[in-house]
């Protein structure tokens, strides 16, 4: 085995890095001087920018996520640019795309969509790709996050479909056929229990939602029915133990509860509402 591989794997394992072999292959390929794919079996040290490799290896040894090091995260069918200013797209959030496709079977239909807290812009891009005649408004309160989203809108050539604005939800007056959101939903106590990786390398405001974790759902229950057209849908991601509390918040709104969706770990993850 090549000395670089041997010593690097040893360091990764000592530092309790999960999937050290996979991570090392990614780091090596990210440090490649050419487009040639690097495998452990065919590695040539001359093909690697060693200065770059050792710098990014050090970052991984400090438990910085691979996605933040290579500025790339896969979601749905696409790769997205990410950095420390946005939450990494999670697989469970893909359920929002899946459920939208079930609700709007005609993909050519003109749908007016609002994406609240767009972050990296992953939901807006995926919905734009699936529903080619849709018009999407992506909003976020973070200027830094919106720069990332705008970059992804450009990378995926969705600028004509997606408009974006750095603003609070309260300022939105347009009407929509579909509203989607993966808002912050951790309580202060839950956030304190999260991993150090999350605390050090992802934005706190993307997770924290007040003392009880319900801050944004309280706002949504009051505001969203007012900007939803008749026969429109709301699809929300929630924390695993929040379904009951969220349903209580929406009980007196104009919206009818449609269904709850569980993720692959059988945890409550998505709530869907309908406006008559």
Reported as a single tens digit per residue, the pLDDT across 49-100 is 999 999 999 999 999 999 999 999 999 999 999 999 999 999 999 999 999 9
CA-nearest of 226, 275, 231, 235 to 255 is: 275
pLDDT at 126 over 90: yes
Other residues' Cβ atoms within 10 Å of the Cβ of residue 160 = 9
pLDDT at 37 over 90: no
Domain edges within the chain: 3-62, 75-275
SS3 of the chain: CCHHHHHHHHHHHHCCCCCHHHHHHHHHHHCECCCCCCCHHHCCHHHECHHHHHHHHHHHHCCCCHHHHHCCEEECCEEECCCCCCCCCCHHHHHHHHHHHHHCCCCCCCCEEEEECCCCCHHHHHHHHHCCCCEEEEEECCHHHHHHHHHHHHHCCCCCCEEEEECCHHHCCCCEEEEEECCCCECHHHHHHCCHHHHHHCCHHHCECCCCCCHHHHHHHHHHHHHEEEEEEEEEECCCCCHHHHHHHHCCCCCEEEEEEECCCCCEEEEEEEEC
CA-nearest of 133, 130, 125 to 103 is: 130
pTM of the model: 0.95
What pLDDT was estimated at residue 1?
54
Beta strand 176-181 with 162-166 is unpaired
Percent of residues, the chain, with pLDDT higher than 90: 92
Task: Select from 1.10.260.40, 1.10.10.10, 3.90.230.10, 3.40.50.150 the CATH code of 75-275.
Answer: 3.40.50.150
């Amino acid at each position: 085995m090549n000395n670089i591989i041997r010593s690097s794997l040893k360091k990764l394992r000592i530092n309790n890095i999960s999937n050290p072999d996979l991570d090392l292959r990614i780091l090596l390929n990210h440090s490649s001087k050419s487009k040639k794919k690097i495998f452990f079996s065919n590695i040539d040290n001359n093909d690697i920018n060693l200065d770059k490799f050792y710098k990014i290896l050090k970052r991984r040894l400090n438990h910085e996520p691979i996605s933040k090091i290579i500025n790339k995260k896969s979601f749905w069918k696409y790769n997205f640019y990410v950095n420390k200013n946005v939450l990494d797209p999670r697989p469970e959030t893909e359920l929002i795309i899946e459920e939208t496709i079930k609700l709007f079977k005609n993909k050519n239909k003109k749908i007016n969509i609002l994406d609240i807290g767009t972050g990296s812009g992953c939901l807006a891009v995926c919905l734009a790709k699936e529903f080619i005649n849709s018009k999407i408004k992506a909003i976020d309160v973070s200027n830094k996050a919106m720069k990332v989203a705008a970059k992804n809108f450009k990378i995926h050539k969705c600028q004509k479909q997606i408009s974006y604005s750095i603003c609070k939800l309260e300022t939105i007056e347009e009407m929509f056929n579909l509203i989607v959101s993966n808002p912050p939903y951790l309580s202060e106590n839950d956030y304190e229990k999260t991993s150090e990786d999350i605390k050090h390398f992802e934005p706190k405001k993307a997770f924290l939602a007040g003392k009880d974790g319900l801050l944004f759902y309280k706002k949504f229950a009051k505001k969203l029915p007012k900007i939803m057209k008749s026969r429109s849908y709301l699809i929300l991601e929630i924390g695993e133990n929040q379904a009951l509390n969220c349903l209580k918040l929406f009980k007196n709104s104009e919206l009818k509860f449609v269904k709850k969706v569980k993720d692959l770990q059988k945890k409550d993850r998505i709530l869907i509402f309908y406006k008559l």
